[in-house]
Amino acid sequence: MPKSIVSIAKGVDVEKMVHEVLAPFGGVKNIIKPKSTVVLKPNAGHDAPPESSVNTNPELVAAVIREVRRANPKEIILAEASAIGCDTMECFEVSGILKAAEDAGVDKVIDIKQDKDLIKMPIRDARSDISRMLLPRFLVEAEHIINMPIFKSHCSMVFTCALKNMKGVVQDKVHYQMHQTDLAAAMMDLWSIIRPDLQLADLIRPSEGFGPHATLPTDFGCLVAGRDPVAVDATVCRMVGLDVNRVAYFEPARERGIGVSDPDQIEIHGPSIEDVYKELWLPYLEGFDKYPEYTLDTEGACSSCLGLVQLTLEKLKSLDEYDKNSDVTILVGRKSGIPEGVEHDKLILHGDCLKKYRKHGVFVGGCPPAEPHPVWAIVDRKDYTEIGPGLRERMAVEGPLFEKHMHKLKQQRDKDRQN
Ligand code: SF4
Q: Which tens digit of pLDDT belongs to each residue from 139-191? A: 999 999 999 999 999 877 889 999 999 999 999 888 878 877 788 889 999 99
The predicted-structure confidence for 103-113, as pLDDT tens digits, reads as follows: 999 999 999 99
Q: Are residues 14 and 87 in the same domain?
A: yes
Q: Is 358 a member of any domain? A: yes
Please, are residues 142 and 194 in contact by the beta-carbon 8 Å criterion?
Answer: no
| Distance, CA of 65 to CA of 123 (rounded, Å) | 31
Q: Is 71 a member of any domain? A: yes
Q: Are residues 213 and 339 in the same domain?
A: no
233 vs 406: which has the higher pLDDT: 233
Q: Is 418 a member of any domain? A: no
32 pLDDT exceeds 90?
A: yes
Q: Is 414 a member of any domain? A: no
- Identity of residue 389: P
Please, are residues 85 and 113 in contact by the beta-carbon 8 Å criterion?
Answer: no
Of 228, 256, 283, the residue that ends a domain is 283
Could you tell me which of 38, 44, 46 has the C-alpha nearest to residue 80? 44
Residue in 156, 353, 364 to alter for ligand 1 test, most ligand atoms within 8 A of Cβ: 353
Cis peptide before 263 (omega within 30 of 0): no
74 pLDDT exceeds 90?
A: yes
307 vs 311: which has the higher pLDDT: 311
Please, are residues 42 and 82 in contact by the beta-carbon 8 Å criterion?
Answer: no
Q: Are residues 238 and 373 in the same domain?
A: no
- For the chain, the domain total comes to 2
The predicted-structure confidence for 222-280, as pLDDT tens digits, reads as follows: 999 999 999 999 999 999 999 998 887 898 898 889 999 999 999 999 999 999 999 99
| Distance, CA of 266 to CA of 262 (rounded, Å) | 7
415 pLDDT exceeds 90?
A: no
- The conformation of residue 345, written as its DSSP 8-state character, comes to G
Q: Are residues 79 and 136 in the same domain?
A: yes
CATH number reported for the structural domain that contains residue 255 in this entry: 3.40.50
Q: Is 232 a member of any domain? A: yes
Q: Are residues 50 and 176 in the same domain?
A: yes
Closest atom of ligand 1 relative to the 182 alpha carbon: 4
Bridge partners, 133 (sequence order): 121
Please, are residues 250 and 230 in contact by the beta-carbon 8 Å criterion?
Answer: yes
Residue 15, classified by CB atoms within 10 Å of its CB into exposed (0-12), middle (13-18) or buried (19+), is middle
Q: Are residues 177 and 314 in the same domain?
A: no
- Residue 110, CB half-sphere, CA atoms under 13 Å: how many? 24
Is the C-beta atom of 297 inside 6 A of ligand 1?
no
| Distance, CA of 157 to CA of 334 (rounded, Å) | 18
Q: Are residues 315 and 241 in the same domain?
A: no
Of 244, 266, 283, the residue that ends a domain is 283
- Average confidence score pLDDT of the chain: 93
- Average pLDDT of 359-379? 93
Q: Is 298 a member of any domain? A: yes
| Closest residue to atom 8 of ligand 1, CA basis | 302
Please, are residues 410 and 209 in contact by the beta-carbon 8 Å criterion?
Answer: yes
Of 233, 264, 283, the residue that ends a domain is 283
Q: Are residues 251 and 385 in the same domain?
A: no
Domain membership of residue 388 as a residue range? 286-407
How confident is the model at residue 181, as a pLDDT?
A: 77
How confident is the model at residue 183, as a pLDDT?
A: 83
